[in-house]
């Protein structure tokens, strides 16, 4: 493989920037810039110079000997002063070396996968960790990155291999007496894996919401105070407020961190009967987004008002403009701040309760693979009811389930998926 390099830290001015080199020629490439010999493995402070002898910078140089490195190859990291001029000069000096090239997006991580340092689920966990904005996202990404999904998939795989081997033993020795009925043990193995799969499949939707963000829609009639409430929750003027009804005609989105969860607040158009074509389009969009939201906050004009449509059990109904009157039901005022903290607590509590059911699997791809495996196991249980004559079909269905689980961690049939995943990484990853 080529020796590759790239800026591994964030681009732009910084105190320190990290340039990573990986490949069989990484040590030689770094040594060509250093004025003194580098240790094969370890840390050293060195002056870096280009091919003309011009001083580039004084750098902390870290050398890793493969396979004990991030990529599994020889790796050198140059920790240089983080000015754009210094970084560019080192990048240019490296690019002038023979058999060394700039890395493609995600190429370092791809090499880690290909060299067995990570599985595909861990690669996805790393991507999620880099993108994490909230504490819940960080924790979830770390769970996947440290290999828990891969470990779970491997345990399922071992149990299914055991089940298949028991069936195959009966098939192979069909002409001989097999003293033990293997069906009870096979069924126990299948049921345990199927139960785990069912639990993880049901938790994917919430886990994916933690990864991408929950949506909370604010719904009510025109001029009831939805935009004012959104601005109060956001702590800034994200939406235009006016005494004129129908000011909001599009859905306004504000991204927030609530109790460590990523949340997008939706300020929707006021729902009412109108002849205004544009406003009607906004109302239709408001209904669509509100119905798809994870949680809805209904703002009522007065106690005799009814929500625009039937709230779910988890939805929140509050009286708007709570600073203008007292009421027996919960009220909130974006203008004065009355009830805002209580509303935030309610929203946070409901979303945190939902988050408790999140599984280790976090993506639709994970769900699809586990669903294929689960359906195959259901078919195995069905055919085993017909006795030993169907054991060959049962064993083949178990192998189908195993292949589905292997795709979960990237062992088979994922080449096109890899290109898509690694393209989302920066050059230095």
| CATH number of the domain to which 227 belongs | 3.40.50.300
**Cβ neighbours for 53, distance < 8 A, ≥ 6 positions apart:** none
Domain boundary (49, 82, 115) is at: 115
Residue 422 inside a domain? The answer is: no
pTM: 0.79
Angle (CA) 135-138-142 rounded to 5° is 145
Domain boundary (340, 356, 372) is at: 356
Residue 371 assigned ligand-binding role: no
- Counting the structural domains of the chain, the total is 3
Do 300 and 256 sit in the same domain of this protein? Answer: yes
Do 219 and 349 sit in the same domain of this protein? Answer: yes
In which band, very low, low, confident or very high, does the pLDDT at 276 lie, cut at 50, 70 and 90? low
Do 203 and 223 sit in the same domain of this protein? Answer: no
Residue 355 assigned ligand-binding role: no
Do 190 and 296 sit in the same domain of this protein? Answer: no
Residue 323 assigned ligand-binding role: no
The residue that leads in pLDDT, 5 or 331, is 5
Question: Under a CB-based contact definition with an 8 Å cutoff, are residues 322 and 339 in contact?
Answer: yes
Low-confidence winner among 109-113, 164-168, 422-426 (lowest mean pLDDT):
422-426
Residue 367 inside a domain? The answer is: yes
Q: How far apart are CA 348 and CA 295, in angstroms?
A: 10
Do 219 and 352 sit in the same domain of this protein? Answer: yes
Question: Under a CB-based contact definition with an 8 Å cutoff, are residues 5 and 19 in contact?
Answer: yes
Q: How far apart are CA 187 and CA 321, in angstroms?
A: 60
CATH number reported for the structural domain that contains residue 150 in this entry = 1.20.120.430
Q: What is the mean pLDDT of residues 201-207?
A: 94
Low-confidence winner among 99-108, 189-198, 271-280, 396-405 (lowest mean pLDDT):
271-280
Residue 268 assigned ligand-binding role: yes
Residue 409 assigned ligand-binding role: no
Residue 288 assigned ligand-binding role: no
Domain boundary (293, 328, 356) is at: 356
Do 183 and 257 sit in the same domain of this protein? Answer: no
Residue 223 assigned ligand-binding role: yes
Residue 127 inside a domain? The answer is: no
For 91-103, write each residue's pLDDT tens digit.
999 999 999 999 9
Residue 423 inside a domain? The answer is: no
* Side-chain-facing half-sphere of 90: CA atoms under 13 Å: 30
Residue 316 inside a domain? The answer is: yes
Q: What is the mean pLDDT of residues 262-281?
A: 70
Predicted pLDDT at 417: 47
Residue 400 assigned ligand-binding role: no
Q: For 61-78, give one letter per residue: b (16+ CB within 10 A) or e.
A: bbbbebeebbbbbbbbbb
Do 167 and 42 sit in the same domain of this protein? Answer: no
For 106-120, write each residue's pLDDT tens digit.
999 999 999 999 999
Do 189 and 224 sit in the same domain of this protein? Answer: no
Do 170 and 285 sit in the same domain of this protein? Answer: no
Range of the domain at 140: 135-209+363-409
In which band, very low, low, confident or very high, does the pLDDT at 232 lie, cut at 50, 70 and 90? confident
Percentage of the chain surpassing pLDDT 90? Answer: 55
Residue 267 assigned ligand-binding role: yes
Residue 243 assigned ligand-binding role: yes
Residue 36 assigned ligand-binding role: no
Residue 202 assigned ligand-binding role: no
Do 311 and 293 sit in the same domain of this protein? Answer: yes
Question: Under a CB-based contact definition with an 8 Å cutoff, are residues 166 and 186 in contact?
Answer: yes
CATH number reported for the structural domain that contains residue 105 in this entry = 3.30.1360.120
Residue 124 inside a domain? The answer is: no
Q: What is the mean pLDDT of residues 25-32?
A: 96
Percentage of the chain surpassing pLDDT 70? Answer: 83
What mean pLDDT is reported for the chain? Answer: 85
Statement: residue 60 has pLDDT above 80: yes
């Amino acid at each position: 493989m080529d020796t590759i390099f790239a800026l591994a830290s964030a681009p732009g001015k910084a105190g320190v920037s990290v340039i990573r080199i990986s490949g069989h020629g990484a040590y030689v490439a770094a040594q060509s810039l250093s004025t003194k010999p580098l240790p094969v493995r370890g840390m050293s402070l060195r002056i870096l110079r280009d091919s003309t002898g011009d001083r580039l910078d004084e750098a902390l140089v870290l050398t890793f000997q493969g396979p004990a490195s991030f990529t599994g190859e020889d790796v050198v990291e140059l920790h240089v002063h983080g000015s754009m001029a210094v970084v560019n000069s080192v990048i240019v000096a490296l690019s002038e070396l023979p058999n060394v090239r700039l890395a493609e997006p995600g190429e370092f991580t791809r090499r880690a996968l290909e060299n067995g340092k990570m599985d595909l689920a861990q690669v996805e966990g790393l991507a999620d960790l880099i993108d994490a904005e909230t504490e819940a996202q960080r924790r979830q990404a770390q769970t996947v990155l440290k290999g828990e999904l891969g470990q779970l998939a491997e345990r399922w795989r071992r149990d299914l291999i055991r089940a298949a081997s028991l069936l195959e033993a009966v098939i192979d020795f069909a002409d001989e007496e097999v003293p033990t009925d293997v069906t009870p043990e096979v069924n126990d193995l299948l049921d345990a894996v199927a139960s785990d799969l069912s639990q993880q499949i049901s938790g994917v939707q919430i886990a994916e919401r933690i990864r991408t963000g929950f949506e909370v829609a604010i719904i009510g009639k025109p001029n009831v105070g939805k935009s004012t409430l959104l601005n109060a929750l956001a702590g800034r003027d994200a939406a235009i407020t006016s005494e004129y009804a129908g000011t909001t005609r599009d859905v306004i989105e504000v991204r927030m961190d609530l109790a460590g969860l990523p949340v997008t607040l939706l300020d929707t158009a006021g729902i009412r009967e109108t002849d205004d074509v544009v406003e009607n389009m906004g109302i239709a969009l408001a209904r669509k987004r509100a119905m798809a939201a994870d949680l809805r906050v209904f703002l009522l004009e007065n106690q005799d008002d009814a929500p625009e449509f039937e709230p779910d059990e988890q939805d929140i109904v509050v009286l708007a403009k709570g600073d203008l009157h007292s009421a027996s039901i919960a009220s909130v005022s974006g203008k004065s701040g009355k009830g805002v903290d209580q509303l935030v607590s309610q929203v946070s509590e409901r979303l945190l309760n939902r988050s408790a059911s999140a599984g280790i699997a976090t993506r639709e791809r994970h769900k699809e693979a586990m669903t294929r495996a689960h359906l195959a196991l259901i078919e195995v249980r069905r055919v085993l009811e017909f006795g030993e004559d169907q054991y060959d079909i049962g064993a083949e269905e178990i192998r189908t389930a195993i292949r589905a689980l292997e795709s979960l961690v990237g062992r088979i049939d994922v080449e096109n998926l890899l290109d898509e995943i690694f393209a989302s990484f920066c050059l230095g990853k």
